[in-house]
């Protein structure tokens, strides 16, 4: 993230909360499919991305105002702030 603009929400992340399991915690309840997963850095819930039909991660942000998620995809190490629409890597 060197020399890239960032936001206060990304700067406040000091420990990365990793996903507990590789499932969307909402889609699994209804048997729905997902594309990619994101893990909330406030509460640790893992939910599906905006490429997925249900867009649970974005719904979670709107319901809770928890601003930062990480990609829960294997091999990816990035964060996204919904509030400031800012990307960062770790």
pTM of the model: 0.93
Q: Which two tokens stand for residue 26?
A: 């909402």
CB atoms within 10 A of CB 26: 18
Residue 68, burial from CB neighbour count under 10 angstroms (0-12, 13-18, 19+): buried
pLDDT of residue 3: 46
Task: From 51, 43, 50, 48, select the one nearest 68 (Cα to Cα).
Answer: 43
Print pLDDT tens along the chain (90 aa): 344 568 999 999 999 999 999 999 999 999 999 999 999 999 999 999 999 999 999 999 999 999 999 999 999 999 999 999 999 999
pLDDT of residue 6: 81
pLDDT of residue 4: 58
């Amino acid at each position: 993230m060197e020399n890239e603009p960032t936001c206060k929400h990304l700067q406040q992340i000091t420990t990365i909360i990793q996903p507990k399991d590789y499932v969307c915690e909402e889609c699994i309840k209804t048997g729905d499919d997902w594309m990619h997963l994101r893990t909330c850095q406030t509460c640790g819930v893992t939910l599906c991305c905006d490429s997925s039909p249900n867009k649970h991660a974005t719904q979670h942000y709107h319901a809770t105002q928890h601003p930062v998620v990480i990609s829960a995809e294997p091999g990816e190490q990035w964060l996204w702030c919904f509030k400031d629409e800012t990307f960062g890597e770790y």
